[in-house]
Amino acid sequence: MNRLEQTILKNLIYNDEYTRKVLPFIRAEYFSDNNERLVFREVFEFIHKYKNPPTHEALVINFTEKKTLTDAEVSGAIDLLKEINLVKNEPTETQWLIEQTEKFCQDKAIYNAIMESVGILDDKNGKKAKGEIPKLLSDALGVTFNNNVGHDYINDSDARYDSYHQVESRVRFDLDLFNKITKGGLPVKTLNIVLAGTGVGKSLFMCHMSAAALAQGLNVLYITMEMAEEKIAERIDANLLNINLNELHTISKDDYSRKFETVKAKTNGKLIIKEYPTAAASVLHFRALINELQLKKNFTPHIIFVDYLNICTSARVKPGANVNTYSYIKSIAEELRGLAVENNVPIVSATQTTRSGFTNSDPGLEDTSESFGLPATADFMFALVTNEELEGLNQILVKQLKNRYSDPSYYKRFVIGVDRAKMRLYDAEVSAQNDLADSGQVDDKPLNSFGNRERSYNNKFEGFKV
């Protein structure tokens, strides 16, 4: 028997501190020998039932009384317990053993995932899809011991104070008011949604933000299921090269190359655009794409755009299954947000308004098409609104619908400039905001300790008296 596996089983029985820290993370399949798996399962079941490690005698009695095991299995398990019990009981540094056990679990998880992947490739019946292989490997690589069991409000006050003053990683906008309402940009591990009607500017907004992120030197992954890769690249060309879309088809190769070299010299980032058929790609495809880009191009995205959420497919709910649109779209939103957490990036996507919302000059969350579960899942959601008057002024109205980063009443409505020919957005003049309701009029109120604007309440709780 492997010396480390013997030590692990021995300490699970005799080292209470070690057992409580590692037992939640060890799996029976990590042990290669059947006797080891039997002993581990018995120890696990005993602790789960009685909340304390078993004695050697208790395990022997339990195995003797097992009716589901063969005589050979019972004999092998008892012989293994005797062997463990005969090992010299030398004290072992618990932290060292925990670290060794973590490495053991990681190595076994990777080995098992590789073997299962080989089985999927060899499976002629196709019971499991090959698209599951990247997730198997990703889960195995993510095995780690996390002993954090919650935030202790009293004892963790110092750590909590430090978190208040820690600068959170964010992807900044190049639009001033968007930075104001998000406190400096989009945080990682978030899902951010643009709500707009057909032709208002959902893709324009995401293409502009992609160009802005690339100009900052960030790696950008743009996933499209609505337009071709070349059309998305054309829009970003117009934005970064400062050329009208029509001029891109008449500009000379030398002029195009010269402008492009100027853009290339100003950024260290990369932009990857990947097209999938409409309603044919899910988070499983996106996860596999990210892994493939890492392996083949050494590319890790800092921000991901998905154009757009409603025409993705769910990884959990089968297409055509008897499920309503609320649950289906909510499932896709939850999967995208999970992908953002896995990859430590913000994800930006879009959704359509309802038919009534398309003509509504003051849309709300209720105007989200197909599923109210989408705004329930999103961290930040805003609507883009246009009409003939705004189009004449080359402006788009932005209305905050949900904001987990700041007070959504702060600049609830504002306008930004738009140059559709060059696929660009820009900050509108301050005077353009003056006639809008909720366009930052709470700006004169001081920030409270949560970074939001103070409001007046009667009988306000003033804290514990000290």
Tell me: pLDDT of 450 over 50. Answer: no
| Statement: the pTM of the whole predicted model exceeds 0.85 | no
Model pLDDT, residue 453: 46
Q: What is the pLDDT of residues 318-338, one digit of tens each?
A: 766 677 888 888 999 999 999
| Dist. CA 71–CA 65, nearest whole Å | 11
Model pLDDT, residue 451: 43
Tell me: pLDDT of 448 over 60. Answer: no
Cβ(35)–Cβ(7) under 8 Å? no
Handedness of CA 216, 221, 227, 233 (dihedral sign): positive
Q: Is 59 exposed, middle or buried (0-12, 13-18, 19+ CB in 10 A)?
A: buried
Extract the tokens encoding 369. Answer: 């098409």
Tell me: pLDDT of 458 over 70. Answer: no
Structural domains for the chain: 3-141 (1.10.860), 170-444 (3.40.50.300)
Q: Count CB-CB contacts under 10 A for residue 52.
A: 12
Tell me: pLDDT of 346 over 50. Answer: yes
Average pLDDT over residues 97-113: 90
Model pLDDT, residue 210: 95
* Most confident by average pLDDT, 1-15, 62-76, 90-104: 62-76
Percentage of the chain beyond pLDDT 70 is 88
Instruction: Determine which of 184-188, 307-311, 370-374 has the lowest per-residue pLDDT on average.
Output: 370-374
Model pLDDT, residue 25: 87
Model pLDDT, residue 445: 46
Q: Order of strands, edge to edge, in the sheet holding 395-403?
A: 271-275, 220-224, 303-307, 346-352, 190-196, 380-385, 395-403, 413-419, 424-427
Q: What is the pLDDT of residues 204-230, one digit of tens each?
A: 999 999 999 999 999 999 999 988 999
Rounded to 5 degrees, what angle do the CA atoms 373, 379, 385 make?
80
Model pLDDT, residue 175: 93
Q: What is the pLDDT of residues 58-68, one digit of tens each?
A: 999 999 988 88
Model pLDDT, residue 84: 83
| Dist. CA 200–CA 385, nearest whole Å | 7
Model pLDDT, residue 52: 87
Rg over alpha carbons for the chain, rounded to the nearest Å, is 29
Q: What is the pLDDT of residues 234-293, one digit of tens each?
A: 999 999 999 999 999 999 999 999 999 999 998 899 999 999 999 889 999 999 999 999
Strand partners, 400: 382
Q: What is the pLDDT of residues 347-400, one digit of tens each?
A: 999 998 877 666 677 888 887 877 788 888 999 999 999 888 888 999 999 999
Average pLDDT over residues 21-40: 90
How sure is the predictor about 452, in pLDDT bands with cuts at 50, 70 and 90?
A: very low
Extract the tokens encoding 31. Answer: 């042990």
Tell me: pLDDT of 460 over 50. Answer: no
SS3 sequence of the chain: CCHHHHHHHHHHHHCHHHHHHHHHHCCHHHCCCHHHHHHHHHHHHHHHHHCCCCCHHHHHHHHHCCCCCCHHHHHHHHHHHHHHHHCCCCCCCHHHHHHHHHHHHHHHHHHHHHHHHHHHHHCCCCCCCHHHHHHHHHHHHCCCCCCCCCCCCCCCHHHHHHHHCCCCCEECCCCHHHHHHCCCCEECCEEEEEEECCCCCHHHHHHHHHHHHHHCCCCEEEEECCCCHHHHHHHHHHHHHCCCCHHHHCCCHHHHHHHHHHHHHCCCCCEEEEECCCCCCCHHHHHHHHHHHHHHHCCCCCEEEEECHHHCCCCCCCCCCCCCHHHHHHHHHHHHHHHHHHHCCEEEEEEEECHHHHCCCCCCHHHECCCCHHHHHCCEEEEEECCHHHHHCCEEEEEEEEECCCCCCCCCEEEEEEEHHHCEEEECCHHHHCCCCCCCHHHHCCECCCCCECCCCCCCCCCCCC
Cis check: omega of the bond before 50, within 30 degrees of 0: no
How sure is the predictor about 459, in pLDDT bands with cuts at 50, 70 and 90?
A: very low
Q: Which residue has the higher pLDDT, 248 or 133?
A: 248
Tell me: pLDDT of 442 over 60. Answer: no
